[in-house]
């Protein structure tokens, strides 16, 4: 036996996983064809075969540690596939169904006076969604961020801070319909029983957004190292300026991502808006008077018509909604990149 430690050992070729993959697909394809399995069963069988075959081969050639590594890598990739498959599928279905409904008129016309199969549009709902969500954001972002600043910079372990944290946690769990009913009660209390306005919907959405914004901003502010605050204090900078010019700019990328996630979450809310903002066929630019339709409510009411034209408009509305959410996420990523502290 040689006294030197072996630093190299046999390895499977680079193309081994690809080969095993193809062979697994083919091997599972045989019973799939003979027994008439569907696409899904065929894929599952192939993956199982792959997870058995590659580690097995690796065990023979490369030894135990590499075999376990290959098995785990395979499992991680399978889990990833299971996680993204529904997403890809959903996007495919929405685009497939929705694209037929989308045209110039669909995006620029409302549903006023549209009867039966006539061409209608999503314009009023688009306006409603943008206005109501924007107003909700304008209300909840300052409240959320200031609360987070209090919790991280001033609250410490005080009673008030602990109570706020507890209440924010409770708020996170409020069912959206309850937020809607509360906003309705508030509007009715102030303006009378028959009054409806889009801003009522914004209030309901704010109730749902604030806890998310507080939580994410709090996490981000806590990540800012104490060293940076001390560096600022040591230069004779007061605490409020330190927060404004050191803590917030350092954390801003993450805070914005959190805000956009909060928006994405509430932009699809249907029930509370149906309750407070009501539904209408026409365009309404005034947040503070009259009913306003949002995209989810539009989708719901079109779907509820149970006509082919209604179904198609619902899918079209869904596509527009998803496009907005994706656009928001893209903007968030961009802003996050632009504003995050840069390394060389």
Partner 1 sequence: MAKSIDVSDLNIYYGDFLAVEGVSMTIKARSVTAFIGPSGCGKSTMLRSLNRMHEVIPGARVEGKVMVDGQSLYGPDVDPVAVRRSIGMVFQRPNPFPTMSIYDNVLAGSRLNSRKLSKADADDIVERSLTHANLWNEVKDRLGKPGQGLSGGQQQRLCIARAIAVEPEVLLMDEPCSALDPISTSAIEDLIHELKSDYTIVIVTHNMQQAARVSDETGFFNLKAAGQPGHLVEFNATKKMFTNPDEPATEAYISGRFG
User: What would the x/- binding string for partner 1 be over residues 188 to 227, using CB under 8 A?
Assistant: -------------------------------------x-x
Cα gap 277→240, rounded to integer Å = 39
Do residues 292 and 261 touch, judged by C-beta distance below 8 A?
Answer: no
Do residues 123 and 283 touch, judged by C-beta distance below 8 A?
Answer: yes
Neighbours of 136 (CB within 10 A): 26
| Contacts for 212 with CB less than 8 Å, ≥ 6 apart | 144, 172, 258, 261, 262, 265
Q: Is 344 an interacting residue with respect to partner 1 (CB under 8 A)?
A: yes
- Among 57-65, 98-106, 118-126, 335-343, the segment contacting partner 1 (CB under 8 A): 335-343
Q: Report helix angle 64-99 to 308-339, nearest 10.
A: 130
Report the nearest approach of partner 1 to the CB of residue 228 (Å). 6
DSSP state of 191: H
Cα gap 133→140, rounded to integer Å = 10
Q: Is 228 an interacting residue with respect to partner 1 (CB under 8 A)?
A: yes
Q: Is 36 an interacting residue with respect to partner 1 (CB under 8 A)?
A: no
Rg (CA), the chain: 27
Instruction: Kindly list the distances between the CA atom of residue 131 and the CA atoms of 120, 205, 265, 286, in Å, as whole numbers in the listed order.
Output: 21, 12, 16, 9
Site for partner 1 in 116-175 (CB under 8 A): 156-157
Binding residue (CB under 8 A) for partner 1 from 96, 105, 169, 230: 230
Q: Is 235 an interacting residue with respect to partner 1 (CB under 8 A)?
A: yes
Three-state DSSP state, 197: strand
- Nearer to partner 1 by Cβ, of 63 and 249: the residue is 249
Q: How many CA atoms lie within 13 A of 93 on its CB side?
A: 8
Report the nearest approach of partner 1 to the CB of residue 221 (Å). 14
- Nearer to partner 1 by Cβ, of 102 and 228: the residue is 228
Report the nearest approach of partner 1 to the CB of residue 234 (Å). 4
Binding residue (CB under 8 A) for partner 1 from 15, 163, 195, 233: 233
Total number of residues binding partner 1 (CB under 8 A)?
25
- Nearer to partner 1 by Cβ, of 222 and 245: the residue is 245
- Nearer to partner 1 by Cβ, of 31 and 156: the residue is 156
Do residues 271 and 180 touch, judged by C-beta distance below 8 A?
Answer: yes
Cα gap 152→155, rounded to integer Å = 6
User: What would the x/- binding string for partner 1 be over residues 238 to 277, using CB under 8 A?
Assistant: x--xx--xx--xx---------------------------
- Among 81-89, 159-167, 189-197, 229-237, the segment contacting partner 1 (CB under 8 A): 229-237
290 bridge partner residues: 197
- Nearer to partner 1 by Cβ, of 70 and 229: the residue is 229
- Nearer to partner 1 by Cβ, of 14 and 342: the residue is 342
DSSP state of 243: I
Interface residues with partner 1 (CB under 8 A) are 156-157, 225, 227-238, 241-242, 245-246, 249-250, 341-344
């Amino acid at each position: 036996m040689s006294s030197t430690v072996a630093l190299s050992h046999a390895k499977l070729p680079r193309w081994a996983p690809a080969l095993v993959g193809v062979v697994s697909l083919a091997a599972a394809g045989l019973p799939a064809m003979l027994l008439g399995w569907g696409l899904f069963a065929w894929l599952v069988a192939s993956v199982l075969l792959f997870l058995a075959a590659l580690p097995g081969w690796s065990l023979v050639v490369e030894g135990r540690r590499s075999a376990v590594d290959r098995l785990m890598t395979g499992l991680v990739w399978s889990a990833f596939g299971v996680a993204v498959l529904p997403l890809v599928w959903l996007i495919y279905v929405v685009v497939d169904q929705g694209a037929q409904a989308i045209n110039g008129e669909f995006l620029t016309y409302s549903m006023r006076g549209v009867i039966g199969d006539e061409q209608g549009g999503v314009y009023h709902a688009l306006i409603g969604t943008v206005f109501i969500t924007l107003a909700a954001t304008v209300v909840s972002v300052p409240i959320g961020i200031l609360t987070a600043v209090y919790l991280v910079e001033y609250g410490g372990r005080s009673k008030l801070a602990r109570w706020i944290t507890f209440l924010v946690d409770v708020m996170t769990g409020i069912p959206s319909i309850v937020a809607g009913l509360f906003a309705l009660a508030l509007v009715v209390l102030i303006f009378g029983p028959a009054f409806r306005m889009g801003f009522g919907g914004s209030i309901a959405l704010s109730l749902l957004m604030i806890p998310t914004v507080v939580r994410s901003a709090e996490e981000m502010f806590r990540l800012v190292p104490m060293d940076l605050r001390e560096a600022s204090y040591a230069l004779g900078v007061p605490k409020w300026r330190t927060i404004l010019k050191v803590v917030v700019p350092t954390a801003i990328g993450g805070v914005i991502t959190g805000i956009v996630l909060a928006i994405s979450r509430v932009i699809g809310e249907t029930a509370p808006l149906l309750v407070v903002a009501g539904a209408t066929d026409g365009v309404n630019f005034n947040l503070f008077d009259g009913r306003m339709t949002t995209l989810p409510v539009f989708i719901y009411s079109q779907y509820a018509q149970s006509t082919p034209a209604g179904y198609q408009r619902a899918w079209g509305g869904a596509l527009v909604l998803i496009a907005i959410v994706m656009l928001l996420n893209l903007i968030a990523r961009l802003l996050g990149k632009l504003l995050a502290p840069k390394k060389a």
